[in-house]
Amino acid sequence: MTPGIKPLVAGNWKMNGLSADLSQLEAMAGQYDDALKGKIDLLVCVPATLLSRAFDKSHGISIGAQDCHGQASGAHTGDISVEMIADTGASSVIVGHSERRTDHGESDAIVNAKAEAGLSKGFQTIICIGESESERKSGVTLDVLKTQMAGSIPDDWHGGDMVVAYEPVWAIGTGLTPTADDVKEAHQFMRDELVSRFGDKGATVRLLYGGSVKPANAEELMAIGNVDGALVGGASLKADDFMGIAGAYHTI
């Protein structure tokens, strides 16, 4: 955690979730009481097909999309713009998730344009970075983070709530997590990079850890310096798991 920064626990449902699964969102909202609202922000990024209906059932939980296009409109079959996301009521977006970078060949430049679209709309915009297993093994993790941050984070940041998520690719969906020391080193490095680029404003950016976060390891991860919350995939699909992670803040 960072003193003075309100943590954010963000769920990413990925390509999961049909109408019936909105009952899980309602169950999460039912457990997001005033005490917890005072301690942490909660966000659930649902598939685009559920954005409007999720927004209607969110009761204080923020709703976000998992991707956006860099432009407001145009001939881009299958894409959705930040304008369209805003039209559903949602006001958050994840950009540059490693699954987008890998499955859709998204470069840092593409992620940068998406991030700029989100931020200039005033969105909470979560920019994801993280090294692959081979990069970690060859000892270039911090170089990779530096390059991804330089390329994916827009210079033109005047509005919106910028959030940066450190997600080691090898930890996503695998049950593996880096050591607490490795997370601490990565997050301190990210903080230093943001401060050197944006000054005091860089010190206010929430830094999330993502990759196999579960109720069982949430408390340990959140106690690490400069870990200001979590980006949660698999464990965000069920209310009990997701709220178990959120509840880790009650003990800190």
- Cα–Cα distances in angstroms (integers) from residue 250 to residues 9, 61, 213, 216, 225, in the given order: 13, 17, 17, 14, 17
**Minimum distance between the CB of residue 178 and ligand PGA, rounded to whole angstroms?**
12
Contact between 229 and ligand PGA per CB under 6 A? no
Query: Among 164, 163, 158, which Cα is nearest to 146's?
Result: 164
Taking CB under 6 A as the binding criterion, the range among 23-31, 141-149, 183-191, 233-241 that sits at the site for ligand PGA is 233-241
**Minimum distance between the CB of residue 43 and ligand PGA, rounded to whole angstroms?**
12
Contact between 210 and ligand PGA per CB under 6 A? yes
Contact between 193 and ligand PGA per CB under 6 A? no
185 is catalytic: no
User: 152, 212, 217, 226: which one contacts ligand PGA (CB under 6 A)?
Assistant: 212
**Minimum distance between the CB of residue 116 and ligand PGA, rounded to whole angstroms?**
21
Buried residues in 50-71 as b, exposed as e (16+ CB within 10 A) = bbebbbeebeebbbbbbbbbbe
Closest to ligand PGA by CB, 72 vs 216, is 216
Question: What gap in Å lies between CA 197 and CA 41, rounded to an integer?
Answer: 26
Tokens for 52, please give them: 């409007």
97 is catalytic: yes
Contact 130, 211 (CB under 8 A): yes
Question: What gap in Å lies between CA 28 and CA 41, rounded to an integer?
Answer: 13
Q: Site residues (CB under 6 A) for ligand PGA? A: 12, 167, 172-173, 210-213, 231-235
Catalytic annotation, residues: 97, 167
